[in-house]
Amino acid sequence: SQQGEEDPQALSIQEGENATMNCSYKTSINNLQWYRQNSGRGLVHLILIRSNEREKHSGRLRVTLDTSKKSSSLLITASRAADTASYFCATGGERLQAQLWSRTMDSSYKLIFGSGTRLLVRP
């Protein structure tokens, strides 16, 4: 099952406009990442924001994180036709520690991807 859900599922804008995509998630997280996928290709990491950060910038990208609302947004400013792709948020969960006798065991860390937003930037 998906942890993150992006909204909208699809977005069509004119070149030069800004594109905003939202992501909501369900459980506590350590960090949230945004990835981009061109058709038929592998995902490319865009930006990582930690749970104690509220906003982060990278070039034309701005990511916000609101842990109280369990949501994040990705803003792409001054969009270009080359920005046409699918965008995914991915959440990394809390690492749980359990005491078993005298050993501390770390649980595994998993990155769970949302269903993605398909962005079309028209020239």
Residue ranges that bind another protein, judged by CB under 8 A: 2, 30-31, 33, 35, 40-45, 48, 88, 92, 95, 108-116
| Tokens matching residue 45 | 């990491």
Residue placing its CB nearer to another protein in the complex, 71 or 86: 86
Smallest distance, Å, CB 20 to another protein?
21
Q: How far apart are CA 10 and CA 80, in angstroms?
A: 16
User: What is the DSSP code (8-state) at residue 2?
Assistant: -
Smallest distance, Å, CB 123 to another protein?
26
Residue placing its CB nearer to another protein in the complex, 12 or 58: 58
Smallest distance, Å, CB 45 to another protein?
4
Spatial CA neighbour of 33 closest among 104, 101, 96, 110:
110
State whether residue 15 is helix, strand or coil. coil
Residue 3 near residue 116, CB atoms below 8 Å: no
Residue placing its CB nearer to another protein in the complex, 15 or 118: 118
